[in-house]
Amino acid sequence: MLIRCKRKVIVKVDAYKILIKYSLPCKREAFLFNYIQIHMKQLFLPRAYRSLLDVWQTEHAIKFVKDTFQLALAAELKLRRITAPIAVAAGKGLNDNLNGKELPVRFRTRMLGGGEAEIVQSLAKWKRYALWRHHIQPGLGIYTDMNALRPDEGISNIHSIYVDQWDWEKVILPQERTVERLNTCVRRIYAALKRTEFLLSEQFPVLQAFLPDEIYFIHAEELRQLYPDKTPKEREQLIAEKHGAVFIRGIGGTLADGSIHDDRSPDYDDWSTPTEGNLDGLNGDIIVWNPVLQAAFEISSMGIRVNPEALLRQLKLRKCEERKELYFHSLLLEGKLPQTMGGGIGQSRLCMLLLHKCHIGEVQAGIWPDEIREECEKQGVFLF
């Protein structure tokens, strides 16, 4: 079925190795864009899109964004920069298994006597371990440039198998495991984002600021009740378009109708601790409205981390209690690791957003199927 539309979506369906080109009605095209983005390899090119910066201006702007934002983030959250690993020993629980389904790249190495190591997928658990080893005190934390591979990641305008992000973590006191503490941290991160956007627009006037002054807060259950007939991704779309920037709390926990907003691993973010109003969870996602893609755009997943009680509860809920025996988990259950909060902020995602780009390949050197590169070249979209 071919439906007339103003914008073009290019979809590659692996099962049949075909390239489908079609258009969508304006009011539904953003929703379908989100659906396709999750389930298929695809390319979305907004009509008449042209980059506001040439290739060398783009390179300059990428460095400006990265230099500016990481200093602003460090100042807002009191973070010190440390060096990050590209690989960790397998079988210790230090690597991030994301939602539990993505498999890391594994390899054998003589360094470990023929044992296996893994390319990191993120540093959510490693950072907490590093805070313990570095004896970081409450109120202070660390951030690092993380470079990871996620081979199971679907390819889209905003997804790549190569992931670069600022992974950050800070020590908090046990009594600071509160929604108020979480929301304060979110506001500080958003302040660093707004500062970067302003300074970038001063440096490159063609890149006009568009983010709202304040970020809106809502729990995933409240969002479900607001849009009960929508999918989680459609809810994100609607709330992001309405407010411009939103923090959705409680992602990973069971909602009142038995569903979950999105999968989360059980052993780092706390998505199960009860809070006021019977709304569980001390974690969430920062999502903004992307005016180029006309879509909700996640830039950070973060939260207060599990304490021993929350870890045991979440491992049981996800039926993976065998992880208790892993090195990282045993340190946590023995009370050796500090209480922390932390998250990841996508570097290429942030550059793509602030530089008004339509594809993440415009700000990072990635691997893309030939037909994606060819279609982008036809439309004047330069992929590194």
Q: Which residues are catalytic?
A: 96, 150, 165, 285, 298, 301
Q: CB–CB of 126/326 below 8 Å?
A: no
Q: Which of 273, 279, 231, 233 is nearest to 255 (CA)?
A: 279
Amino acid at 353: L
| Residues sharing a CB contact under 8 Å with residue 295, sequence separation 6 or more, in sequence order | 30, 33, 34, 237, 240, 289
Strand partners, 3: 23
153: its two tokens: 């990641």
Spatial separation of the C-alpha atoms in residues 358 and 158, rounded to whole Å = 8
HSE-CB at 185 with a 13 A cutoff on CA atoms is: 34
Spatial separation of the C-alpha atoms in residues 244 and 33, rounded to whole Å = 18
Helix/strand/coil (H, E, C) string of 124-193? HHHHHHHHHHCCCCCCCEEEEEEEEECCCCCCCCCCCCEEEEEEEEEECCHHHCCHHHHHHHHHHHHHHH
In what helix (H) or strand (E) does residue 58 lie, and over which residues does it extend? helix 55-77
Spatial separation of the C-alpha atoms in residues 54 and 65, rounded to whole Å = 16
Q: How far apart are the two ends of the chain, measured CA to CA in Å?
A: 34
| Residues sharing a CB contact under 8 Å with residue 148, sequence separation 6 or more, in sequence order | 119, 120, 121, 122, 162, 163, 164, 165
**Angle, helix 347-354 to helix 55-77, in steps of 10 degrees:** 120
Q: CB–CB of 13/43 below 8 Å?
A: no
